[in-house]
Amino acid sequence: MRKQKDSNPADSFTLAHLLTFLAALPFCFSGGMPSAKSWAGIFSLGIFQIGIPSLLYASGIARVTAISAVFITMLEPLMNPVWVFVFAGEKPSVNAVAGGAVILAFISFRSFVNYRRSRGKAPSAS
């Protein structure tokens, strides 16, 4: 996505979502025809959970660093247990908290190491 920042990163999202749709389509009908309520849920999630965020991410990817893009994409799965706790009152398990801490620690460590490497490099003579 970051390599496409000067062209159109939304093309990658469009292709990925189209392939996902085609792969999942047979499973939509394996238990019979979905109800109208199910279709409304599918379309709502498609628009508000996947479509709009993908467009916003594709437009924003050209304006942020690669590591910022990684942090942004990692926030959603890391925050899921937090949102479930806040809105549903379900406490996250120790494993969920530990997993999130490990992910954040390694991303932070990698970011720090890359930052230190980039600061230590001499400017190239062109």
pLDDT per position as a tens digit, 31-65: 778 889 988 998 898 899 888 888 888 888 778 77
Does residue 115 form part of some domain?
yes
Does residue 33 form part of some domain?
no
**Number of domains, the chain:** 2
Does residue 73 form part of some domain?
yes
Residues 1 and 58 in one domain: yes
Q: Evaluate whether 15 touches 54 at the Cβ level (below 8 Å).
A: no
The pLDDT tens digits for 62-90 are 787 777 777 777 787 788 888 889 999 99
Residues 6+ away with beta carbon under 8 Å from 7: none
> One-letter amino acid identity for 8?
N
Residues 49 and 83 in one domain: no
Residues 6+ away with beta carbon under 8 Å from 70: 107
Per DSSP, the three-state class of 26 is helix
This model's pTM is above 0.75: no
Residues 51 and 98 in one domain: no
Residues 1 and 52 in one domain: yes
Is the pLDDT confidence value at 122 over 60? no
pLDDT band per the 50, 70, 90 thresholds, residue 4 = low
Q: Which DSSP category does 8 fall into?
A: -
Does residue 125 form part of some domain?
no
Residues 97 and 112 in one domain: yes
Residues 90 and 101 in one domain: yes
Is the pLDDT confidence value at 27 over 50? yes
Domain that holds residue 50: 1-19+39-63
